[in-house]
């Protein structure tokens, strides 16, 4: 893992741009340092990392994520999340403790949404019966980012969405004033409406008085309401 981290840090440093770093930090409203390497450059580094240090088992998957997550720059952490979602064979309930750590420590949408949708959400889709209790627990968690995760984790589930649970979770969090929760309700319902527009339309209308303006506008964006 030391060699992997050294490679990643070296490749990122070689692409560093101080002006872009300042802008990226300002956009993310964070004091965490950036190298100033944007998505294209990070993709190049990820490709090199994957070639030099292929991940072959669950232990290597966790170790690589944890090693990069421990580094100080945001791009190193982005690559940790990249590993987490790229190696889908290891995206399972067994790694939920790790995903929870990334969500709670990341505590901002750029980290949380990637892990929620591409790690938690994929494991949830693959095994709703086993993962469901965790999603149920997180929707009422004191940590706002875990509540957001529970809401947006089924965004890619389409026809396989457990809509009874999704609708229940949206209603249970509809009273919140937190922007990221209100946005999450609207976002997840809008995405499900691409598969079941009439079902979502009826749900929105039936509970119209419960929704914030933001949640309703987002959810109804492409619906005839």
Instruction: Identify whether 61 is part of a domain.
Output: no
Output the six-digit token pair for 123: 């494991």
Instruction: Identify whether 148 is part of a domain.
Output: yes
Look up the CATH number of the domain holding residue 193: 1.25.10.90
Find the domain containing 162 and state its range.
Answer: 130-225
For position 216, what pLDDT does the model report?
98
Q: Is the pLDDT score of 225 beyond 90? A: no
Instruction: Identify whether 78 is part of a domain.
Output: no
Instruction: Identify whether 212 is part of a domain.
Output: yes
Q: pLDDT tens for residues 142-193?
A: 999 999 999 999 999 999 999 999 999 999 999 999 999 999 999 999 999 9
Q: Provide the whole-model pTM.
A: 0.95
Q: Which residues are within 8 A (CB) of 70 and not within 5 positions of it... i.e. 6 or more apart? A: none
Domain tally, the chain: 1
pLDDT confidence of 23, banded at 50, 70, 90?
Answer: very high
Instruction: Identify whether 165 is part of a domain.
Output: yes
Q: Is the pLDDT score of 224 beyond 90? A: no
Q: How far apart are CA 171 and CA 142, in angstroms?
A: 17
């Amino acid at each position: 893992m030391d060699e992997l981290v050294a490679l990643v840090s070296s490749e990122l440093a070689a692409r560093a741009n101080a002006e872009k770093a300042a802008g990226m930090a300002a956009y993310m409203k964070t004091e965490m340092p950036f190298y100033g390497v944007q998505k294209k450059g990070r993709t190049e580094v990820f490709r090199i990392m994957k070639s030099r240090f292929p991940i072959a088992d669950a232990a290597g998957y966790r170790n690589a994520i944890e090693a990069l997550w421990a580094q100080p720059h945001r791009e190193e952490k982005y690559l940790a999340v990249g590993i987490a979602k790229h190696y889908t064979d290891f995206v399972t309930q067994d790694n939920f403790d790790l995903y929870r750590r990334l969500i709670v420590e990341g505590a901002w949408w750029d980290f949380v949404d990637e892990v929620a949708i591409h790690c938690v959400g994929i494991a949830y889709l693959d095994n709703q019966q086993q993962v469901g209790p965790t999603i149920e627990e997180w929707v009422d968690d004191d940590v706002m980012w875990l509540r957001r995760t529970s809401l947006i984790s089924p965004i890619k589930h389409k026809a396989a969405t457990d809509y009874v649970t999704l609708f229940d979770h949206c209603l249970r969090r509809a009273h919140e004033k937190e922007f990221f929760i209100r946005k999450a309700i609207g976002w997840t319902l809008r995405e499900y409406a691409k598969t079941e527009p009439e079902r979502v339309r009826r749900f929105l209308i039936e509970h119209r008085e419960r929704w914030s303006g933001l949640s309703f506008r987002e959810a109804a964006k492409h619906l005839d309401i």
